């Protein structure tokens, strides 16, 4: 649905060059919720702004719903007619809502429809429908200054949906909200994704957001995408940074000559088997549990556990083999692959 190839954005200011995006290839599939995480300054905002060309990339292409936007005419400040038409099919939600204070909630939602040239009656009907969808039908005649942050963002979402977009872009839509409101907004996004088949590209710096709504994720650092994939795949990859950040088990414990530290990841119904006690009984070993977490990620139950077995890695080849046979994913943490530490 959204594909970027070799996307690069270089900012030049006062003779200094900032490479905000560096050769970014991203693929967001139709109907998924795709999250981009990364520390501040990683280039996340630049990335979304390049997707609807609010920012003209220095190099590379952006294709949304089969239309190569970067091939359409216009400068950063003045978009050509085709690009403007394409933007009407891409909804955008902002961290600070960006609602017009001079307009009521209803009039804010009608705004994109005024731009597409819908007649008054149709606009009314559509706006009412959308406000109902986001649960704000009773606030239609209020002004944004009379709403809470969460309500404002719901208006922002209703407005973004007014043009029946196939794609919704969201830059830190929940960052200005408290945890509970964040959850309700994320739930709304998830519902819209499922009900309308909306493809969502969302930017966040909170792993919680990824965990609760995303199907896929990308991790950015220094303008580059250092990791990307579906969450379920990332979770079964022992070296995934995203997966590890989803499950912060703490820093402690790498193996050594007399102990072996394992990281066991299970998905679906694997935890139904009492593998820890089975292992202890079958091989007569003492198992020390260092940390564990279970979460629902992308709608699946996923757990991770870090355990310590006595003896070196070579002493424990058999028990490890046993665990793998049970369908568990086992990673051995020792000094040589201390990446996890």
Residue numbers of the site for ligand ATP (CB under 6 A)? 11, 13, 18, 20, 38, 40-46, 205
Q: Which is nearer to ligand ATP, 72 or 218 (CB)?
A: 218
Number of C-alpha atoms within 13 angstroms, CB side, residue 213? 28
Q: Which is nearer to other proteins, 16 or 78 (CB)?
A: 78
Helical ranges in the chain per DSSP H: 44-51, 81-87, 105-116, 120-133, 149-161, 179-196, 207-213, 231-235, 241-246, 275-283, 317-325
Chain-centre distance of CA 321, in angstroms?
A: 34
Which of the ranges 2-10, 14-22, 40-48, 184-192 carries the binding residues for Mg ion, by CB under 5 A?
40-48
**Shortest CB 19 distance to ligand ATP, Å:** 8
Residues 64-93, one symbol each (x = binds other proteins by CB under 8 A, - = not), give: -------------xxx---xxxxxx-x-x-
If one asks whether residue 46 binds Mg ion (CB under 5 A), the answer comes out as: no
300 binds, among Mg ion, other proteins, ligand ATP, none (CB under 5 to 8 A by kind): none
Angle at 263 between CA 260 and CA 265, to 5 degrees: 150
279, 308 contact by CB (below 8 A): no
Residue with tokens 């945890």: 179
**Shortest CB 326 distance to ligand ATP, Å:** 40
**d(C-alpha 239, C-alpha 245), whole Å:** 11
Which of the ranges 97-105, 211-219, 289-297, 318-326 carries the binding residues for other proteins, by CB under 8 A?
97-105
5, 69 contact by CB (below 8 A): no
**Shortest CB 36 distance to ligand ATP, Å:** 8
If one asks whether residue 45 binds Mg ion (CB under 5 A), the answer comes out as: yes
If one asks whether residue 106 binds Mg ion (CB under 5 A), the answer comes out as: no
The residues, ordered by sequence, that sit 6+ positions from 152 with a Cβ below 8 Å of its Cβ are 97, 99, 144
**Shortest CB 76 distance to ligand ATP, Å:** 10
**Shortest CB 26 distance to ligand ATP, Å:** 14
Q: Which is nearer to ligand ATP, 46 or 108 (CB)?
A: 46
255 binds, among Mg ion, ligand ATP, other proteins, none (CB under 5 to 8 A by kind): none
The residues, ordered by sequence, that sit 6+ positions from 26 with a Cβ below 8 Å of its Cβ are 2, 3, 4, 7, 47, 218, 225, 228
**d(C-alpha 91, C-alpha 111), whole Å:** 13
Residues lying near Mg ion in the complex (CB under 5 A): 45
Residues lying near other proteins in the complex (CB under 8 A): 52, 54, 77-79, 83-88, 90, 92, 94, 96, 98, 100-104, 111-112, 114-116, 141-146, 163, 169
């Amino acid at each position: 649905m959204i594909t970027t190839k070799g996307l690069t954005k270089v900012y030049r200011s006062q003779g200094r060059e900032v490479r905000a995006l560096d050769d970014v290839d991203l693929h967001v599939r139709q109907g998924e919720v795709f999250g981009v995480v990364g520390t501040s300054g990683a280039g996340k905002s630049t990335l979304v702004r390049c997707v609807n060309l609010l920012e003209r990339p220095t190099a590379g292409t952006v294709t949304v719903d089969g239309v190569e936007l970067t091939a359409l005419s216009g400068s950063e400040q003045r978009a050509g007619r085709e690009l403007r038409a394409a933007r009407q099919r891409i909804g955008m939600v902002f961290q600070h809502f960006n609602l017009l204070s001079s307009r009521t909630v209803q009039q804010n939602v009608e705004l994109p429809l005024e731009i597409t040239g819908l007649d008054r009656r149709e606009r009314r009907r559509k706006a009412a429908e959308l406000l109902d969808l986001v649960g704000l039908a009773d606030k239609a005649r209020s002004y944004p200054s009379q709403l809470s942050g969460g309500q404002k963002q719901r208006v922002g979402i209703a407005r973004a949906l007014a043009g029946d977009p196939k794609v919704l872009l969201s830059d830190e839509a929940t960052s200005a909200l408290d945890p509970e409101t964040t959850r309700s907004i994320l739930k709304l996004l998830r519902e819209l994704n499922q009900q309308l088949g909306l493809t969502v590209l969302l930017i966040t710096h909170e792993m919680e957001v990824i965990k609760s709504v995303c199907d896929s994720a990308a991790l950015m650092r220094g303008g580059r995408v250092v990791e990307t994939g579906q969450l379920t795949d990332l979770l079964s990859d022992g070296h995934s940074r995203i997966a590890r950040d989803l499950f912060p088990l703490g820093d402690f414990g790498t193996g050594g000559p007399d102990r072996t530290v394992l990281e066991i990841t299970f998905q679906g119904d694997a935890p139904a088997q009492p593998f820890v006690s089975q292992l202890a009984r079958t091989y007569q070993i003492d198992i020390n549990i260092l940390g564990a977490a279970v979460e629902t990620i992308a709608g699946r139950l996923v757990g991770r556990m870090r355990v310590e077995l006595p003896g070196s890695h070579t002493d424990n080849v058999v028990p490890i083999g046993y665990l793998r046979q049970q369908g568990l994913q086992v990673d051995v943490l020792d000094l040589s692959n201390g990446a996890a530490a």
